[in-house]
Structure formats: C-alpha cells, structure tokens
C-alpha cells in the first residue's frame, strides 16, 4: 500500500464522505464542515495504514500510561 493517498484520491474520498454525512453536518458552519471532513479523511488514511501493517504480519507495539502490550499477528 502506498504511504499517502493522492490529492485526487483524497478529494474523491472527501466528496463521498460529504455526501454520506452531509445531513448530519448541516448544523456546523462551512468552515467546521471542511475541517471535519479533512480530519475524517486523514483518520481513515491512518486507520487503513495501520490495518494494512497488521494484516501484512508486521509487529505492532501499543503502549499505555501503565500497561505495555504487544500485538503479534
């Protein structure tokens, strides 16, 4: 998987999210809607990267404030 989505891919994903979530975001100003959509696209990209690494068998270590846990696939 590539590191980041292209500008065209991000724009397409953003349009799809806006179409699906538009009604739920109506209460927000246009500026806040844009910020939310950008955050959602970034979060989606990051989640896909992590899940792709997990699926590929790469070891991921998660640390917490008290606990230490290693996830092996």
Average pLDDT score, the chain: 82
- Give the mean pLDDT of 36-56: 89
**Backbone phi, psi, residue 35, to 5°:** -65, -45
| Residues near 62 by beta carbon (within 8 Å), at least 6 away in sequence | 69, 70, 71
- Tokens 């992590």 map to which residue? 50
Cβ count near 42 (within 10 Å): 13
Residues 14, 62 contacting (CB under 8 angstroms): no
pLDDT digits (tens, 9 = 90+) for 10-40: 999 999 999 999 999 999 999 999 999 999 9
């Amino acid at each position: 998987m590539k590191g980041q989505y292209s500008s065209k891919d991000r724009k397409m994903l953003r349009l799809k999210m806006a179409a699906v979530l538009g009604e739920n975001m109506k209460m927000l100003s246009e500026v806040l809607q844009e910020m939310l959509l950008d955050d959602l696209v970034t979060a989606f990209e990051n989640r896909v990267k992590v899940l792709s690494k997990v699926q590929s068998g790469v070891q991921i270590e998660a640390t917490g404030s008290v606990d230490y846990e290693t996830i092996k696939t």
